[in-house]
């Protein structure tokens, strides 16, 4: 692939990853005054979600974090100083919460409920954040860059593999074993907590992984713009193509012992059941894209995305959702 083609692919995928789409239709403005009194706004693009034992957080590109202390039954809106465009959020095993914005800053939720920011020591565009079980906070960035520091604080270490590519996701499944995925099907792995990394065979077709998660050192999934999901069951040595039944993009994959789910464009919500991706009967019927998903145990799932769309699903009861109005898909 030549340089021009790579640049075009990167630009298109990055715009989709950040939720900036030129084809987005205008939102209806009826009920705006009533909406201003609600924690979730129509202009929110909800990008990511994370949960600790006592808090559920969803971040918005409109410069706010939505916080719930009752598993999504009610919400409080934290407007962050300067209204940063938040693009990702992660929860640590110890209960710490960190968000990432598009201006290379990490925001930490303090014990008093305030959000404190720090700038990252890199000129590269940052794309995702992950708190690893081993006690390190990780950020992925352009030019094959990974940054990390201790969760408790300290200096950031910046490592670059020197390739002209963006790492879109990093995930550690335990204190030692981790994966990072990026442009052109790039996959790297670590077995020593991130002190060193090794290249794995690439995902076929120069795949751009917009979504990725790993369940253990052997099993993981990545998804992208064409709605296709690739699965590995041997630690990234081989990848098997899986169809979701929809060509809309996959923006987020969440894998845990509670299940494996994928969300994306035009209200895409699929669960991985028996080796296939299926759409649950109570999936929200909306045009809004979903970009955030959080598994709240085996029975409940939070979905969130464009236009403040949010849905709390219970697998044993009908869907409860505020995602009823017709919004733009991508």
Give 193-210 pLDDT, tens digit per residue: 999 999 999 999 999 999
Instruction: Specify the number of domains making up the chain.
Output: 1
Q: Which two tokens stand for residue 177?
A: 């074993």
* Contact (CB, 8 A) for 216 and 227: no
Confidence of residue 40 (pLDDT cuts 50, 70, 90): very high
Judge whether residue 321 has pLDDT over 80: no
Judge whether residue 319 has pLDDT over 60: no
In a domain, 169, yes or no: yes
Main-chain dihedrals φ then ψ at residue 17, nearest 5 degrees: -65, -35
In a domain, 61, yes or no: yes
pLDDT at 10: 53
Q: Indicate the length of the chain as a whole number.
A: 330
Residue given tokens 């990072």 in the structure block: 180
Confidence of residue 283 (pLDDT cuts 50, 70, 90): confident
Show the domain range for 152.
3-321
Residue 155 pairs in a beta bridge with none
In a domain, 327, yes or no: no
Confidence of residue 285 (pLDDT cuts 50, 70, 90): confident
In a domain, 329, yes or no: no
In a domain, 328, yes or no: no
What global pTM score does this model have? 0.86
Average pLDDT of the chain is: 87
The rounded percent of the chain whose pLDDT value lies above 70 is: 84
Query: How many other CB atoms are there within 10 angstroms of residue 23's CB atom?
Result: 7
* Contact (CB, 8 A) for 60 and 80: no
pLDDT at 22: 36
Q: Strands, E, within 104-185: which ranges?
A: 105-109, 115-119, 126-131, 136-141, 145-150, 157-160, 167-172, 178-182
The rounded percent of the chain whose pLDDT value lies above 90 is: 73
- Across 143-170, average pLDDT: 94
pLDDT at 297: 80
Q: Tell me: the pLDDT tens digits for 109-156?
A: 998 899 999 999 999 999 999 999 999 999 999 999 999 999 999 999
CATH code, domain carrying 241 = 2.130.10.10
- Across 277-304, average pLDDT: 89
pLDDT at 281: 84
Q: Tell me: the pLDDT tens digits for 44-91?
A: 999 999 999 999 999 999 999 999 999 898 999 999 999 999 999 999
Query: How many other CB atoms are there within 10 angstroms of residue 24's CB atom?
Result: 16
- Across 14-35, average pLDDT: 40
In a domain, 141, yes or no: yes
pLDDT at 278: 92
């Amino acid at each position: 692939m030549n340089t021009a083609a790579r640049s075009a692919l990167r630009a298109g995928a990055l715009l989709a990853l950040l939720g900036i789409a030129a084809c987005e239709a205008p939102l209806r403005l009826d009920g705006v005054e009533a909406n201003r009194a609600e924690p979730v706004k129509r202009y929110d693009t909800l990008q990511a979600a994370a949960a600790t034992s006592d808090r559920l957080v969803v971040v918005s590109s409109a410069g706010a974090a939505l916080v719930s202390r009752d598993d999504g039954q009610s919400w409080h809106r934290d407007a962050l100083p300067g209204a940063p465009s938040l693009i990702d959020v992660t929860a640590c095993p110890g209960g710490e919460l960190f968000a990432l914005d598009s201006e290379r800053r990490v925001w930490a939720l303090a014990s008093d409920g305030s959000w404190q920011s720090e700038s990252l020591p890199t000129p590269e565009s940052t794309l995702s954040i992950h708190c690893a079980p081993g006690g390190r906070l990780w950020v992925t960035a352009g030019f094959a860059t990974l940054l990390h520091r201790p969760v408790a604080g300290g200096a950031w270490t910046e490592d670059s593999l020197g390739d002209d590519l963006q790492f879109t996701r990093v995930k550690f499944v335990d204190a030692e074993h981790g994966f990072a995925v990026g442009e052109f099907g790039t996959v790297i792995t670590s077995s020593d907590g991130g002190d060193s990394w090794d290249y794995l065979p690439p995902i076929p077709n120069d795949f751009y992984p917009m979504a990725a998660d790993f369940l253990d050192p052997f099993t993981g999934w990545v998804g992208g713009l064409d709605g296709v999901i690739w699965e590995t069951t041997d630690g990234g040595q081989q990848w098997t193509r899986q169809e979701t039944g929809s060509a809309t993009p996959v923006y987020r994959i969440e894998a845990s012992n509670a299940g494996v789910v994928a969300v994306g464009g035009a209200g895409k919500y699929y669960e991985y059941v028996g080796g296939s991706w299926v759409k649950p009967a109570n999936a929200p019927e909306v045009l809004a894209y979903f970009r955030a998903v959080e598994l709240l145990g085996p029975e409940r799932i939070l979905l969130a995305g464009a236009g403040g769309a949010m849905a709390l699903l219970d697998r044993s009861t009908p869907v409860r959702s505020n995602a009823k109005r017709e919004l733009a898909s991508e």
